[in-house]
Structure 1
Amino acid sequence: MGILSWIIFGLIAGAIAKFILPGKDPGGIIVTILIGIVGGLLGGWLSSKFGGAGVNDFSLMSFVWAVIGSLILLIAYRLVFNKSRS
Structure 2
Amino acid sequence: MSTVEIYTTPTCGFCHAAKRLLTSKGASFSEVNVMAQPERRAEMTQRANGGRTVPQIFIDGKHIGGCDDLYELDRAGKLDPLLSA
Higher helix proportion: 1
TM-score (norm 1): 0.31
TM-score (norm 2): 0.31
* Bigger CA radius of gyration: 1
Higher strand proportion: 2
